[in-house]
Amino acid sequence: MKYVIANWKMGPLERGEAERLTAALTQELQGGSERVTVVLCPPFPWLPLVGAESRMTSRWRLGAQDAFWEERGPFTGEVSLSMLRSLTVQYVIVGHSERRALGDTNEIVGRKLRAVLSSGMTAVLCVGEIHREGDWHVVFREQVAEALGAIEAADAGKLIVTYEPVWAIGGSIPDTPDDVLSAVLFIRKLLRERFGERAASSVPILYGGSIEGGTVAPFANQEGIDGVLVGHASLNAKGFADIVRAIGEA
């Protein structure tokens, strides 16, 4: 199974736009390949409307961009996993570099990861170096090791890892497929060391960073990369559907 995960980030800015995007996606994603799972991760306020549409069409699964690790208590501004589950959310992004830049440390990412996995939802763990210099593998070795430190091999079936080099996010020039493959193999090795061969091989590893309709092909065709996480290009229904098709047909 391949994955295409849409991270809408803080968009669209208005409800009407979110409704139009959702309706356009319903059209564009009709009849897509069964070999690709599409996950849409809108901002919290748009989860109910995207979720309602997905229940009608089942063209995509619903994901959240973040969640809090505690289930209840006085935590102003936070959103619990049971709230998300009641909105039919099945996937939660954890450790996106934009959350890390706002203060999510490796320790916080680890707590969130544990909470998502013990809630039974699938965690999409994002890792990646900020600069491509020196021994860049070291940064996400630390990120992966800390995040996985407290989870069990039995949880690996609910884990997706996304390699997202921070410097490649938000533009139109992705990392090279060769470097992505080297990062993916390195992450696979860390998973194997932590979970053993069988559990590690079941974890999908995706790439994210400047994926658009025109840049997706080499990643779609690269064995070892199990799909993509798409930021800005996921706000355009046609362009996003092109990406989903490229991944599904590879």
Report, as residue numbers or ranges, the catalytic residues.
96, 164
Q: Is 100 in the site for ligand PGA (CB under 6 A)?
A: no
- Structural contact between residues 28 and 38, judged by C-beta atoms closer than 8 angstroms: no
- Cα gap 168→206, rounded to integer Å: 14
Q: Is 147 in the site for ligand PGA (CB under 6 A)?
A: no
Site string for ligand PGA, 153-192 (x = CB under 6 A): -----------x----xx----------------------
Q: Which of 4, 216, 230, 250 binds ligand PGA (CB under 6 A)?
A: 230
* Residue 174 DSSP label: P
* Residue 170 DSSP label: T
In this complex, which beta carbon is closest to ligand PGA, that of residue 99 or of residue 194? 99
Q: Which residue has the tokens 């890792």?
A: 127
Q: Is 95 in the site for ligand PGA (CB under 6 A)?
A: no
Residues between 18 and 77 with contacts to ligand PGA, criterion CB under 6 A: none
Number of residues binding to ligand PGA, judged by CB under 6 A: 13
Q: How far is CA 45 from the centre of its chain?
A: 19
For 101, the token pair is 């830049």
Q: Which of 22, 210, 215, 236 binds ligand PGA (CB under 6 A)?
A: 210
Residue 107 buriedness (CB in 10 A; 0-12 / 13-18 / 19+):
exposed
| Binding region for ligand PGA (CB under 6 A) | 7, 164, 169-170, 208-211, 229-233
